[in-house]
Structure 1
Amino acid sequence: MSRRIAVSVAAGVVVLAGAGAYALAYAGEQPPALTHSAARYSAPAGDRDGSLSFTTGVTASSGIKSVKVLAWPATSSLAEQKLTAVDMAAAERAVCTPAGKHTVHCTYTTTVTPTDAASSPHGAWHIGVLAEANNGTTTLDNEAAGFTVR
């Protein structure tokens, strides 16, 4: 009887070790995680250009390959269709700096000229973000942050 118990315990240890290895491998393939995303829009005033700034933290155990950012008006067709990775292919890259072992802090800033502001739809806007990890996994957040154009 004690031999049966020993065999059962050994089999249980093998199963648990295999499950643990699978969980650890699976955890390594998790897509990038976005945290603390925020946008700030300043309209042009007088002779001064305005700006749009977006910041986010991105974490991935394999490291971050790229972070792309796209601002889009809430009244556009993207509100119904949602952004795709294909839409984000031509988006501009954020500049990322290390902020921990597996985390980077990314910033995207662009100038908003008076002409840009005059030709842009007023109202709510969203920031779409595509983060790609070194292992090829991606995260697409259609509405990582928002701002208002007045």
Structure 2
Amino acid sequence: MSKRTLFFSLIGAVALGGVTAGGFALASTPTKPTLENGSATYTAPSAGSAGSFTYTTDVSDDSGIRNLKVLAWPASSKLDPKEAELRSAESATCRRTSDETSRCTYTLKATQREAAELDKGTWYVSALATAQDGGTTFVPRTASFDVTR
């Protein structure tokens, strides 16, 4: 085997190894999910029906969505939720709208008695989205809504 053939064989092996390693690096690095079109609403209970809080958002990631954790909290509490705290929060119900996107909705019902105990004023919604590939996105204040009497 000539030196020239050996040299080009080594160059080819190094180039192939670099492409393969780069492919593994790209495949093993999870992307972060995105949250779009989020909205939060609160409906006070009436004489014959429960009230509710609903948060809806579109969550996208190229690997798909595993779950969305949601926490609603009053601004007056000065709470400052962290990502780790949301891992144990309640999950939204997510329905696929495409290979990459799910529409996630979290609903919580409130009786008149429960609603009377809620802090009045502005509330915030924190969210933690987890993709199928393990990537996460934490949004400490993704939406707000008002609780009135």
**TM-score after normalising by structure 2:** 0.78
The amino acid of 2:74's aligned partner reads P
The corresponding residue for 2:115 is: 117
Q: Whole-Å Cα distance in 2 between the matches of residues 47 and 103 of structure 1?
A: 37
The corresponding residue for 2:136 is: 138
Give how far 1:117 is off: 1.0
Q: Whole-Å Cα distance in 1 between the matches of residues 37 and 31 of structure 2?
A: 19
Structure 1 residue runs of 4+, over 2 Å off? none
Q: Whole-Å Cα distance in 1 between the matches of residues 115 and 48 of structure 2?
A: 13
SS in 1 for 2:77: coil
Structure 2 unaligned spans of 5+: 1-14
**1:1-150 alignment runs, 5 A limit:** 25=26, 29-78=30-79, 82-150=80-148
Give how far 1:85 is off: 2.1
Q: Whole-Å Cα distance in 2 between the matches of residues 136 and 117 of structure 1?
A: 36
Greater gyration radius: 2
Q: Whole-Å Cα distance in 1 between the matches of residues 115 and 133 of structure 2?
A: 39
The amino acid of 1:95's aligned partner reads T
SS in 2 for 1:65: strand
SS in 1 for 2:114: helix
SS in 1 for 2:76: coil
SS in 2 for 1:48: coil
Give how far 1:62 is off: 1.5
Identical-pair percentage: 36
What is the alpha-carbon root mean square deviation over aligned residues? Answer: 2.4
**TM-score after normalising by structure 1:** 0.78
Structure 1 unaligned spans of 5+: 1-13
Give how far 1:122 is off: 0.2
